[in-house]
């Protein structure tokens, strides 16, 4: 559906939801949905996820090039030094975990991250020099997984663990969640997923972060706003629901019956379909390969479900293309790596905060407030004001 707006005496057709409307320019990356491809700056995001560390992609988005060995070592030291939770905030975390019911780490993160921004004295972007903005971006992205892990452990009745400066970003997050340093295969699997989740075009949360940044607000507020957007079921998704689908089907013998009932009833099959990709989601392809590297009954069952969904959909709804999205195999991989289901979406947020902060810096450099117009469709004005009653 199109609405018509007028700007500078020019009529503009505006699609609902601003679909395909170019709202800004970015040098950070792009999603080419019809090709099944997306990239961070000049490199394939999937190739970066498979072959490079999380920190290398983080550095690339911030500084525009992959780091040298020396630059990477220095960057990792800076990230490790930015992980500490202020004492004032640490003392609040048990209460935050109680208030959020212990089951919604993202709700707790919104509170805790706002408190960190206040405790750190993070100033508005409008009043902050470029170098200081970058340091703040690193600080916010570095402390985010620490806060998430602390809230998770408190909700489980366990004490948060102190930071480990000797661990890389992903290994450190996994250690804070479980208390165990991950093996190389587990670290690589989660790193690949988190790297692939850093950025994905002008999605709702990224756009929200940029709108807030355009006002000159502080970087912490922009990230908290993005987190609020991510909480919406139409955007953030829930990888755990893909596992719920596998659990509901139960056994290989029930796949056809369950899928047929779902397709014919019009029910959504969680983990399938994407609003941008018209071909296979490249993230799903990569994560399927990682899951198959682990092997086991769960992986075999997931691949069997995927194959039968695609086959039955073609049979029952010819011409309707549907593929697994990132959530399907992300859920399988995170389960294999020991991440609790309640932390699947928070783990996504721990990765996406790197993309948000890079977009915030880019938007702040533009200096122009995002202020679109609306098209009034109410009762025609002006009407005479009725007598007072």
CATH number at 70 reads 1.10.580.10
Length of the chain: 389
pLDDT at 312: 84
Rounded Cα–Cα distance for residues 3 and 374 (Å): 10
Domain total for the chain?
1
Contact 190, 86 (CB under 8 A): no
Q: In which element (H, E) is residue 10 found?
A: strand 10-15
> What is the span of the domain harbouring residue 165?
54-184+201-232+351-366
Q: Is residue 361 part of a domain?
A: yes
* pLDDT at site 277: 63
The segments of the chain whose pLDDT lies below 70 read 1-12, 102, 236-238, 273-275, 277-278, 319-320
Asked if residue 86 belongs to a domain, the reply is yes
Which residues are CB-neighbours of 384 under 8 A, at least 6 positions away?
none
Residue 6: inside a domain: no
Q: What is the pLDDT of residues 331-357, one digit of tens each?
A: 999 999 999 999 999 999 999 999 999
| CA angle (196 as vertex; 193, 199 as ends), nearest 5 | 135
66 located within any domain? yes
How far, in Å, CA of 142 to CA of 58, rounded? 11
Q: Is residue 215 part of a domain?
A: yes
Distance CA 168, CA 148 (A): 17
225 close to 363: Cβ distance less than 8 angstroms: no
pLDDT of residue 1: 40
Distance CA 320, CA 288 (A): 22
**Residue among 281, 79, 39 nearest 170 (CA):** 79
Are 176 and 161 spatial neighbours (Cβ–Cβ below 8 Å)? yes
Residue 145 lies in a domain: yes
Q: The whole model's pTM is what? A: 0.92
CB 194 within 8 A of CB 170: yes
For the annotated catalytic residues, the residue numbers are: 274, 327
The two three-digit tokens of residue 209, written as one number = 């972060």
The DSSP code for 218 is: B
Q: Which of these, 302, 318, 222, lies nearest to 263 by C-alpha position?
A: 318
174 inside domain: yes
Q: Residues near 56 by Cβ (< 8 Å), separated by ≥ 6?
A: 48, 66, 67, 72
Pairing of strands 10-15, 43-44: unpaired
Please check whether residue 149 is in contact with residue 161, taking contact to mean a CB–CB distance below 8 angstroms: yes
Between the alpha carbon of residue 209 and those of residues 94, 126, 231, the distances in Å are 28, 15, 14
For residue 141, being part of any structural domain is answered with yes
């Amino acid at each position: 559906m199109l609405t018509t707006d007028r700007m500078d005496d020019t009529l503009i057709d505006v699609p609902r939801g601003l679909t395909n409307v170019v709202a800004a320019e970015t040098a950070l990356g792009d999603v080419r949905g019809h090709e099944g491809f997306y990239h961070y700056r000049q490199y394939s995001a999937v190739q970066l996820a498979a072959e490079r560390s999380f920190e290398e992609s983080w550095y690339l988005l911030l500084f525009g090039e992959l780091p040298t060995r020396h630059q990477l070592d220095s960057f990792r030291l800076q990230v490790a030094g930015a992980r500490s939770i202020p004492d004032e905030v640490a003392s609040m975390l048990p209460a935050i975990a109680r208030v959020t019911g212990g089951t919604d780490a993202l709700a707790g993160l919104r509170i805790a991250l706002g408190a960190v921004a206040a405790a750190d004295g993070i100033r508005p972007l409008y009043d902050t020099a470029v170098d200081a903005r970058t340091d703040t971006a690193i600080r916010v992205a570095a402390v985010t997984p620490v806060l998430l892990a602390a809230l998770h452990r408190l909700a489980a009745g366990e004490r948060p663990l102190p930071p480990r400066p000797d661990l890389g970003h992903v290994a450190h997050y996994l250690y804070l969640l479980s208390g165990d340093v991950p093996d190389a295969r587990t670290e690589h699997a989660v790193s690949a997923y988190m790297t692939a989740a850093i950025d994905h075009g002008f999605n709702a949360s990224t756009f929200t972060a940029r709108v807030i940044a355009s006002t000159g607000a502080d970087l912490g507020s922009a990230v908290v706003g993005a987190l609020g957007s991510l909480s919406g079921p139409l955007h953030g998704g829930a990888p755990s629901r893909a596992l719920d689908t596998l659990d509901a089907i139960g056994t290989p013998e029930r796949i056809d019956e369950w899928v047929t009932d779902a397709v014919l009833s019009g029910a959504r099959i969680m983990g399938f379909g994407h609003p941008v990709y018209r071909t296979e989601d490249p993230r799903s392809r990569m994560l399927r390969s990682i899951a198959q590297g682990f092997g086991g009954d769960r992986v075999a069952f997931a691949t069997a479900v995927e194959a039968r969904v695609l086959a039955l959909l073609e049979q029952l709804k010819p011409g309707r293309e549907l593929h697994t999205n990132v959530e399907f195999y992300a859920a399988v991989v995170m389960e294999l790596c020991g991440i609790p289901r309640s932390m699947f979406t928070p783990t996504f947020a721990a990765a996406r905060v790197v993309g948000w902060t890079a977009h915030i810096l880019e938007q702040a450099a533009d200096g122009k407030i995002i202020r679109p117009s609306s098209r009034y469709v109410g009762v025609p004005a002006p009407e005479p004001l009725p007598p007072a009653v």
